[in-house]
Amino acid sequence: MTAIGKTKDISDILDPARAAALHVTLDLAGPAPAHGDPLPPFWHYAYFWESLPPAGLGRDGHPRTGDFIPDLGLPRRMWAGGNLAFLAPLLIGQAAQKKTKIVDVVRKVARSGPLAIVTLRHEFSQDGRLCVTEDQSLIYRAEAAGGGEKPVPPVAPTDEAVKQSRRFSSTDLFRYSALTFNGHRIHYDRDYARDIEGYDGLIVHGPLLAQGLLNLGQSLLGDVKTFRFRATAPLFDHEEVTFCAKPEAEGVSLWARGPDGRMCLTATATATAT
């Protein structure tokens, strides 16, 4: 496909005020990181906004397909997962650069219907030094079939060594959407999420769940060098999530468990590059 190999670049200054706002949105203890401090892992999502006018957006609030990401005729976008390596700290208050490349586009037919998987490679640099790499997988699906059978999510383990619970309110989701400049309406427009996308409520952002797991992994490992996550089922704003961790020989296994025991997101983190 001709889209493979396309690139785009965004530069940004890592504003300390935005880091402070994310710190309180995540409900973290202690002082927020300040100018000159390392940006905590995964916080780059609060930066490198792609600012487009309304005409540049699709009906779901995401950037319209057909420009950078090709129009695949599949209107529903979902974040499938990511694979990150933290090579060097990004410093708050300094300019940084993000380069994105389309590395793969794969079409499939699943039991739920046709879909496409788009893989993006993000590279984040500062002062000419590569600091973070991320392979991001996006899934594009057909329209939701009304009354169709919903997929059965996997069951999450219950043998965690450490766990933390949290409930994300609609206000939490709105603030995280604002800080990451994520216009996807499933996170703040309940009518759209229910009537158009077929969900039972507002969807908690996949990256927000991943951030919770990464924070838990970091509390066990110290400096996290690699982090891989995969979304398996949605979590809704009226539900409590349990972040779970189990140390392993190579790092720590992590998962987000819904109130009915379903696996919402699974991840691994390591303290040394692999």
Average of per-residue pLDDT values in the chain: 93
For residues 77 and 19, give the distance between their C-alpha atoms in angstroms, rounded to a whole number: 27
Residue 162, domain member (yes or no): yes
pLDDT score recorded for residue 110:
75
Mean local confidence (pLDDT), 202-210: 96
Per-residue pLDDT of 31-81, as tens digits, reads: 999 999 999 999 999 999 998 999 988 888 888 888 888 888 888 888 899
Residue 55, domain member (yes or no): yes
Task: Give the residue among 250, 227, 208, 158 at the shortest CA–CA distance from 46.
Answer: 208
Residue 44, domain member (yes or no): yes
Residue 1, domain member (yes or no): no
Mean local confidence (pLDDT), 126-138: 97
What's the distance, CA 53 to chain centroid?
23
Residue 144's domain comprises 7-270
pLDDT of 274 strictly over 50: no
**Least trusted range by pLDDT, from 90-104, 113-127, 142-156:** 142-156
For residues 84 and 61, give the distance between their C-alpha atoms in angstroms, rounded to a whole number: 25
- 79 DSSP β-pair partners: 138
Residue 2, domain member (yes or no): no
pLDDT of 12 strictly over 70: yes
pLDDT score recorded for residue 265:
97
Phi, psi of 254 (to 5 degrees): -135, 145
pLDDT of 115 strictly over 80: yes
What beta strand segments (E) does 16-94 contain?
76-86
For residues 182 and 205, give the distance between their C-alpha atoms in angstroms, rounded to a whole number: 10
Query: Global pTM?
Result: 0.93
Residue 172, domain member (yes or no): yes
Contact 226, 256 (CB under 8 A): no
pLDDT score recorded for residue 66:
86
What's the distance, CA 79 to chain centroid?
7
Phi, psi of 191 (to 5 degrees): -60, -45
Per-residue pLDDT of 232-270, as tens digits, reads: 999 999 999 999 999 998 899 999 999 999 999 999 999
Domain count, the chain: 1
Residue 167, domain member (yes or no): yes
Residue 82, domain member (yes or no): yes
CATH number of the CATH domain containing 158: 3.10.129.10
Mean local confidence (pLDDT), 103-131: 91
Q: ∠94-95-99 over CA atoms, to 5°?
A: 140
Task: Kindly state the DSSP code that residue 57 receives in the 8-state scheme.
Answer: B
**Least trusted range by pLDDT, from 16-30, 97-111, 169-183, 252-266:** 97-111
pLDDT score recorded for residue 108:
87
For residues 60 and 20, give the distance between their C-alpha atoms in angstroms, rounded to a whole number: 28
Task: Give the residue among 45, 21, 33 at the shortest CA–CA distance from 96.
Answer: 45
For residues 161 and 210, give the distance between their C-alpha atoms in angstroms, rounded to a whole number: 18
Sheet holding 162-167, edge to edge: 7-13, 95-110, 113-126, 129-141, 76-86, 226-231, 263-270, 251-257, 240-248, 162-167
Task: Give the residue among 45, 33, 26, 28 at the shortest CA–CA distance from 84.
Answer: 45
